[in-house]
């Protein structure tokens, strides 16, 4: 199958199924055209996932597509943006129709779920890898950054942490039990916190999505903001499945394992009380921003500060 046949058959339908009023032209020309209204800023981010590094060998194509698009979209959530469109660069060992059909299905489901239109792309022959660039918009000047955390701010995270990292141990289990399944769902189908990010745009003083582990990603906020933080590890939200399956290791996974795609945000104390109910429900306060640089961990296990560890993109193979 040639490149143009492949695009026509599997990807052009995706561009046509969901329009976005600001995406004026999608697949079929030299460039896509996106209109940015004067009262909005464009935010964009690119993410590459490589077989054997970011997802296992022989991983279901539907899941490869879903995870890659969700991971890229999570960066939009971290900026408080509303998704508009994405471009896809797909490198494939061979153009296998059944594989491509399943991949396109996963891409379509995920794109629909997060409100993204496919704007264009490129396909090449080579070792399997997926690169996705996402575009989103945010009201002018209100995009969340890593750099605004101020001493006294509350550090909060969404959801529960560590589940996706723990799931790596169960990827090859032939018939996972319900607890293992709960963790695997977090790995296979991450859900970027888009609504939460949007609600916090202009409210949170800083934000990041947790892709490499809480310690590492909160560390990025601290560095960009020129501050430090203390975190009570006993307050870090852990799922029942994680606690039951991983026991004493649950906290380490929450601190240092990646792929959760929850948000870590800082919020000025006076604004914390006034957050809308649906925002508060998604957040757990785990610590405070302080003046002295570095991340200080305290709590049940009396953890030492080893915030430098995180997911190392060059350090392990799946």
- Which residue, 163 or 209, has its beta carbon nearer to Mg ion? 209
Judge whether 102 is annotated as a binding position.
Answer: no
Smallest distance, Mg ion to C-beta of residue 208, A: 6
- Which residue, 51 or 75, has its beta carbon nearer to Mg ion? 75
CA dist 228 and 188 (Å) reads 33
- Which residue, 110 or 123, has its beta carbon nearer to Mg ion? 110
Smallest distance, Mg ion to C-beta of residue 172, A: 28
By C-alpha distance, which of 115, 112, 102, 107 is closest to 132?
107
Judge whether 112 is annotated as a binding position.
Answer: no
Smallest distance, Mg ion to C-beta of residue 71, A: 8
Judge whether 147 is annotated as a binding position.
Answer: no
Q: Which two tokens stand for residue 172?
A: 């090859």
CB 153 within 8 Å of CB 218: no
Judge whether 146 is annotated as a binding position.
Answer: yes
- Which residue, 209 or 262, has its beta carbon nearer to Mg ion? 209
- Which residue, 6 or 132, has its beta carbon nearer to Mg ion? 132
Judge whether 175 is annotated as a binding position.
Answer: no
Helix (H) or strand (E) holding 295, with range, is strand 294-298
Judge whether 260 is annotated as a binding position.
Answer: no
- Which residue, 106 or 192, has its beta carbon nearer to Mg ion? 192
Residue 140, Cβ neighbours under 10 Å: how many? 11
Judge whether 41 is annotated as a binding position.
Answer: no
- Which residue, 34 or 260, has its beta carbon nearer to Mg ion? 260
168 to each of 110, 187, 240, 255, 304, how far by Cα in Å? 22, 8, 17, 16, 25
CB 253 within 8 Å of CB 197: no
Judge whether 121 is annotated as a binding position.
Answer: yes
Cβ neighbours of residue 195 under 8 Å, at least 6 residues apart? 278
Residue ranges binding Mg ion (CB under 5 A)? 75, 209
Smallest distance, Mg ion to C-beta of residue 180, A: 27
DSSP code string of 231-242: EEGGGS---HHH
Smallest distance, Mg ion to C-beta of residue 101, A: 30
For 290, phi and psi rounded to 5 degrees? Answer: -130, 170
CA torsion angle for 279, 282, 288, 291 (degrees, to 10)?
-70
Residue 253 burial (C-beta neighbours within 10 Å; 0-12, 13-18, 19+): buried
Cα angle 75-44-315, degrees, rounded to a multiple of 5 = 50
Bridging pattern class, strands 228-232 and 154-158? unpaired
Smallest distance, Mg ion to C-beta of residue 278, A: 23
Judge whether 209 is annotated as a binding position.
Answer: yes
- Residue ranges for the known binding site for Mg(2+) are 30, 45, 47, 75, 122, 209, 212
- Residue ranges for the known binding site for ATP are 121-122, 146, 211
- Residue ranges for the known binding site for substrate are 54, 259, 311
- Residue ranges for the known binding site are 30, 45, 47, 54, 75, 121-122, 146, 209, 211-212, 259, 311
């Amino acid at each position: 199958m040639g490149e143009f046949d492949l695009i026509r058959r599997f990807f052009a339908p995706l561009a046509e199924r969901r329009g976005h009023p600001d995406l004026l032209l999608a697949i079929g020309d030299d460039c896509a055209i996106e209109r940015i209204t004067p009262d909005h800023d464009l935010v964009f981010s690119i993410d590459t996932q490589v077989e054997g590094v970011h997802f296992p060998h022989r991983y279901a194509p539907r899941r490869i597509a879903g995870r890659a698009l969700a991971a890229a979209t999570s960066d939009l959530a971290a900026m408080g943006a509303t998704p508009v469109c994405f471009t896809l660069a797909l490198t494939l060992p061979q153009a296998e129709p059944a594989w491509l059909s399943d991949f396109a299905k996963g891409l379509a489901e995920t794109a629909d779920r997060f409100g993204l239109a496919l704007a264009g792309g490129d396909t090449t022959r080579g070792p399997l890898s997926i690169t996705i660039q996402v575009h989103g918009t945010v009201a002018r000047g209100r995009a969340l950054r890593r750099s605004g955390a101020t001493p006294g701010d509350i550090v909060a995270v969404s959801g529960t942490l560590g589940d996706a990292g723990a799931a790596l141990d169960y990827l090859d289990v032939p018939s996972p039990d319900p607890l293992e399944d709960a963790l695997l769902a977090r790995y296979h189908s991450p859900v970027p916190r888009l609504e939460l990010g949007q609600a916090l745009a202009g409210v949170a003083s800083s934000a990041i999505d947790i892709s490499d582990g809480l310690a590492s990603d909160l560390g990025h906020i601290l560095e960009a903001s020129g501050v430090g933080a203390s975190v009570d590890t006993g307050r870090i939200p852990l799922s029942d499945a994680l606690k039951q399956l991983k026991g004493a290791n649950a906290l380490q996974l929450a601190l240092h394992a990646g792929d959760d795609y929850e948000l870590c945000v800082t919020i000025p104390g006076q604004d914390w009380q006034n957050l809308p109910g649906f925002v508060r429900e998604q957040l757990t306060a785990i610590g405070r921003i302080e003046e002295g640089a570095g991340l200080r961990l305290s709590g049940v296990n009396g953890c030492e500060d080893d915030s430098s560890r995180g997911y190392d993109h060059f350090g392990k193979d799946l």
